[in-house]
Amino acid sequence: MDLDDFRQRLNERLTQVLVRNEQANPHLRRLLEMPADWGEREVILADRALLDGLDTEARAELAAIRTALERVEDGTYGTCAGCGAPVGDTRLHFLPFAITCLRCAQR
Ligand SMILES: [Zn+2]
């Protein structure tokens, strides 16, 4: 698994969500203007005030991306949060912020 590749894909996904929602919350623009530093973005994404004004879908997506990024950093990315099995590269390719394997997701 190429972690840098997944990290980049998560970052792109994050940028898409931010661009799509920046009208709803001016703080998002600040985040977009920042250098794409993972640690800093992650900290800001943990700020609940940032999520105010966003719709449920955007909030859920940002939370999922943040969780995936945390798992990249702590080395558990790609391991199912439910059963510990590999999530699978194919699943991660289509759903880079998936933290469970398909079986656990369907449970
Ligand atoms: Zn699982």
Residue 90 in any domain: the answer is: no
Please give the residue range of the domain that contains residue 61: 3-77
Euclidean distance between CA atoms 21 and 46, whole angstroms: 17
pLDDT of residue 104: 97
pLDDT of residue 43: 66
- Most distant CA pair in the chain, distance: 40
How far away, in angstroms, is 99 Cα from ligand 1 center? 9
Residue 106 in any domain: the answer is: no
Unique residue bearing structure tokens 């800093």: 40
Residue 84 in any domain: the answer is: no
| Total number of domains in the chain | 1
pLDDT band (50, 70, 90) for residue 37? low
Residue 28 in any domain: the answer is: yes
Residue 53 in any domain: the answer is: yes
pLDDT of residue 98: 94
Predicted TM-score (pTM) of this structure: 0.80
* pLDDT mean across residues, the chain: 85
How far away, in angstroms, is 105 Cα from ligand 1 center? 7
How far away, in angstroms, is 88 Cα from ligand 1 center? 10
Residue 57 in any domain: the answer is: yes
